[in-house]
């Protein structure tokens, strides 16, 4: 499984915001972009997805910016990755809906893929944003 720049940059953005949460001031995308050496426009797109997912909240106005929507201890790395990547599934055949593999029920490798998916989900849902800040 390859995490795209969306997922990688979203984690960096969330760590940046969480590490500055102590002073209570919203973090602007410009500030985060300068510290992380990333594009402001790209971070703004990610910010929208993270707000929609309920992990960030947007504060409008002159002193506006972004704050965590929940305590860092309650935000999982998996929440951030799913907000920006969609699924963390290692193969598309595990997806439901229109992308569901028609051979899934008879696939000889499906249990391997399910096991790998569970390992990934367990890991990304076992690491909180607070853990990521502590690791930084």
Give me the CATH number covering residue 16.
1.10.10.10
What pLDDT score does 91 carry? 83
Q: Is residue 111 part of a domain?
A: no
State the greatest distance between any 2 C-alpha atoms of the chain, in Å, as a whole number: 58
Which is it for strands 65-68 and 56-59: parallel, antiparallel or unpaired? antiparallel
Segment 91-103, tens digit of pLDDT: 878 877 666 777 8
What pLDDT score does 8 carry? 95
Rounded to whole angstroms, how far apart are CA atoms 71 and 79? 13
Confidence band, pLDDT 50/70/90 cuts, at residue 56: very high
Q: Is residue 106 part of a domain?
A: no
What pLDDT score does 94 carry? 81
Residue 35, domain extent: 5-88+128-135
Q: Is residue 54 part of a domain?
A: yes
Strand partners, 27: 66
**DSSP 8-class letter at 56:** E
Q: What is the pTM of this model?
A: 0.89
Rounded to whole angstroms, how far apart are CA atoms 126 and 102? 32
| Total domains in the fold of the chain | 1
């Amino acid at each position: 499984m390859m995490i795209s720049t969306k997922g990688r940059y979203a984690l960096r953005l969330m760590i940046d915001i969480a590490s500055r949460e102590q002073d209570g001031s919203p973090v602007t995308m410009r500030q985060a972009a300068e510290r992380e050496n990333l594009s402001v426009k790209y971070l703004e797109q990610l910010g929208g997805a993270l707000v929609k997912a309920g992990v960030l909240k947007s504060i409008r106005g002159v002193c506006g910016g972004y704050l965590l929507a929940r305590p860092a201890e309650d935000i999982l790395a998996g929440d951030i990755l799913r907000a920006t990547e969609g699924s963390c599934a290692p193969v598309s055949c595990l997806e439901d809906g229109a992308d569901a593999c028609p051979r899934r029920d008879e696939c000889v490798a499906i249990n391997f893929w399910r096991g790998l998916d569970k390992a990934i989900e367990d890991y990304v849902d076992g690491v909180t944003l607070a853990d990521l800040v502590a690791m930084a």
